[in-house]
Amino acid sequence: MTTLSHTGPAGGVPPTGPLPGFGDPVQDAQGVFRAVLDAMARPGTIHDLALGIEAPAPLSAGSAAVLMALADFETPVWLDGAAESAEAAAHLRFHCGCPLASEPAEAVFALVAGPALMPPLSAFAVGTEEYPDRSCTVIVQVASLAAGAGWVLTGPGIRDRASLRVGGLPPAFAGWVRDNHAGFPLGVDLVFTCGGRIAALPRSTRIGE
């Protein structure tokens, strides 16, 4: 996608404007969408988006790609205090056309760049009995993602059990996920991003240590 930036003279003001988005907007967005669906269908698996896109700090490449593939003018996005830079907001408005929500409960998608200070999952929209799909997908930028020792995952899409280790989350997070699952079919869905890698925990997944 063509950006609004321009090349300035040598030694002059550096280029301004949104960073480039997907190289092939249709194919790349579809690829990311399929990766998110696959991550949701197989909780605990890690997927490398491998798109090589740029994103303004504090957005990670994975978070920017997921939002560019999923968000649009009808889906309010909430940015936590660590993510709400002017550059990040401009990038998402330009590439997604999405409005920015002022409160977590108003968002269809939420981006958490500072998980240590994030609100509990109950602060986000969990849907209603009539429309459980009217809930929030919470994208959390984390310090590390690895299969192996960590949470033990069971539920739909998992044969027997899976394991996932996620670094940089607050100590209460596992309890929030258990409470979120207890309200099924209501609840939020989670996408973790680390650089250009993603993993997901839908509300149907149970976790243990």
Please write the tens of the pLDDT for every residue from 63-93. Answer: 999 999 999 999 999 999 999 889 999 999 9
User: Can you name the residues that pair with 138 across neighbouring β-strands?
Assistant: 110, 190
Q: Which tops the pLDDT comparison, 16 or 164? A: 164
For residue 181, count other CB atoms closer than 10 A to its CB. Answer: 17
Of 60, 56, 58, 49, nearest to 23 (Cα)?
Answer: 49
The confidence score (pLDDT) of residue 20 equals: 78
Confidence at 149, pLDDT banded by 50, 70, 90: confident
Q: pLDDT for 87-145, tens place per residue?
A: 999 999 999 999 999 999 999 999 999 999 999 999 999 999 999 999 999 999 999 99
Cα–Cα distance measured from residue 119 to residue 179, given in angstroms and rounded to the nearest whole number = 14
Decide if pLDDT at 62 tops 60.
yes
Question: Of the ranges 3-17, 21-35, 168-182, which one carries the lowest mean pLDDT score?
Answer: 3-17
Domains of the chain: 25-208 (3.40.50.11310)
Tell me the whole-structure pTM to 2 decimals.
0.89
Q: Do residues 144 and 167 make contact, with C-beta atoms less than 8 angstroms apart?
A: yes
DSSP for 134-184, written as a single string: SBPEEEEE-SEEEEEEEEEEESTT-SS-EEEEEES--TTHHHHHHHHHHTT
Q: Do residues 119 and 175 make contact, with C-beta atoms less than 8 angstroms apart?
A: no
Q: Do residues 204 and 42 make contact, with C-beta atoms less than 8 angstroms apart?
A: no
State yes or no: cis peptide before 18, omega within 30 of 0: no
User: Can you name the residues that pair with 47 across neighbouring β-strands?
Assistant: 198
